[in-house]
Amino acid sequence: MNIIFIGARGAGKSKVSRSLSKQTDFPVVSTDSIAVYEAGGIPIPSFVEKFDWKKFRELEYSILEKLKDADGIILDCGGGILFDLDEAGNEVPSQRKLDLLRRIGRIVYLERDLEELIEKVKGDSTRPDLSKVASYRSILEKRLPIYQEAAHFKLNLSKLSKEEAAERVLDWLGIKSK
């Protein structure tokens, strides 16, 4: 069994993944870390600047393809994992990625309030700039319903610690922590 975390930038996917890993001994696999590795060590913001978002979304798909037979992992997905770009360069929901994610494991949507998400990512130079595409607020308004539809389980982190969130996921899955 695999546990997959989806959600917006700054939702807490990486922190909850690491906390859950400590409680289960499942290794954390980060789609963003694999993307950097697959791109020859190029950080994601540089990759997107050098190539474009469409190429990055294709890279994400190829990563999911490689993980489709994985077992016993916690998959920490980048915020745009459920999306592709259409011919005009607009972000659209990706059925092909969702199908792969559902094949890989149980999808947990980690959510936070919109304003909280916006505050958390302001000035974060480690993440690619989305402002060239649209404001982060407008991106979130389009993405949040897609995350909800994709998830098997939804967990609002606004009032939970990462440890409490990990415990709730374990309870939902019926897994005892080590």
Binding residue numbers for substrate: 32, 57, 79, 143
Measure the CA–CA gap between 107 and 90, rounded to whole angstroms. Answer: 25
Known binding-site residue numbers: 10-15, 32, 57, 79, 127, 143
CB atoms within 10 A of CB 46: 13
Known binding-site residue numbers for Mg(2+): 14
Known binding-site residue numbers for ATP: 10-15, 127
End-to-end CA separation in angstroms for the chain: 16
Measure the CA–CA gap between 138 and 13, rounded to whole angstroms. Answer: 21
Cβ neighbours for 5, distance < 8 A, ≥ 6 positions apart: 13, 16, 17, 74, 75, 76, 77, 108, 110
